[in-house]
Amino acid sequence: MGAGAKQFRAWLVLGRVSNLPTVWSNCLAAWLLGGGGAWGRFALLGAGATLLYLGGMFLNDAFDEEFDRAHRRTRPIPAGLVAARTVWLCGWSLLGAGLLALCLLGQAVVMLAALLAGTIVVYDAIHKRIAFAPALMAECRFLLYLVAASAANAGVSGLAMWSALVLALYVAGLSFVARGEGLGQAVSRWWAVLLAAPVVLALIANSGPLRQDAVLLAVVLAAWTARSLRPLWWAQPPDIGRAVSGLLAGIVWVDWLAVADQGREFGFVFIGLFLLARAAQRFVPAT
């Protein structure tokens, strides 16, 4: 691999771009739960969310420079592939550009987006030093859901709020696993209960003719979650990174389950996003 190709890949690794399909699926699910609307507004929402995500990921590595030099020397900054100052500049610029894009979607979106951006920065700054960092990561996804729903025609509905909450619980669960990988710690199993939250809500919220689709998707999500956990619980030695990658891609299934009543035509979009996430993980690590 040439020097230019290595540097380009370093930027992709910094942005953890293999997780972007899950950001887009979050936006789509919450947008539908909020009543949908003009697809031009959705495109702007997706662009703003993408910029916020990338800015947050760049700042994550910028804040973690000292830790990575000691423990993760293959990361782009300690490996000398990208200058720390450049990462700082790009991170803040992308975060600002994302906020600017979302400002065009209305006052409610602006307020929630500002709260999301603030939470991203707080997480990046302190996540290596606090035990409840997974809760902050979960809050980021929770707020992204609210941002997307508030940009739609009907705004934040009760179901959108509940769906955001169960997504946050799922993300908190997988974040506890990822934290074990990042700090080199053993991973306890209590958090597995959190991963079941989307399935529980789907079975409670759907009834009548819609229940069949919800049950089917719930089974798919449960099966995928179990498959993702195999490298963690039944492999020797445990492969935390592989488990986390699978659970991250599973966010797309969580989103599809949240909108199981929105029409099967959207299923092709969610399947495409899931496959894109898995394909991207082959080239860019998800964590």
Q: Which domains does the chain have, with CATH numbers?
A: 17-281 (1.10.357.140)
Look at residue 146 in the predicted model and tell me its pLDDT: 98
Q: How confident is the model at residue 180 (pLDDT cuts 50, 70, 90)?
A: low
Q: Is 5 exposed, middle or buried (0-12, 13-18, 19+ CB in 10 A)?
A: exposed
Look at residue 112 in the predicted model and tell me its pLDDT: 98
Question: Which strand (E) or helix (H) includes residue 268?
Answer: helix 265-281
Query: Degrees (nearest 5) of the Cα angle 208, 212, 217?
Result: 135
pLDDT digits (tens, 9 = 90+) for 21-35: 999 999 999 999 999
More confident residue, 50 or 179: 50
| Other CB atoms within 10 Å distance of the CB of residue 43 | 11
Provide the whole-model pTM: 0.93
**Whole-angstrom distance, CA of residue 157 vs CA of residue 216:** 24
Q: What DSSP designation does 18 have?
A: G
User: Mean pLDDT highest for which of 5-14, 114-123, 229-238?
Assistant: 114-123
For residue 1, pLDDT over 90 is answered with no
**Whole-angstrom distance, CA of residue 258 vs CA of residue 255:** 5
**Which residues contact residue 20 at a Cβ distance below 8 angstroms, ignoring those fewer than 6 apart?**
50, 53, 280
- Of all residues in the chain, the percent with pLDDT exceeding 90 is 70
Angle of helix 39-63 relative to helix 84-103, nearest 10 degrees?
150
For the segment 41-70, the average pLDDT, to the nearest whole number, is 97
For the segment 170-194, the average pLDDT, to the nearest whole number, is 72
Average pLDDT, the chain: 90
Look at residue 200 in the predicted model and tell me its pLDDT: 84
pLDDT digits (tens, 9 = 90+) for 195-223: 988 888 877 776 655 567 788 888 999 99
The residue with tokens 């080239």 is 283
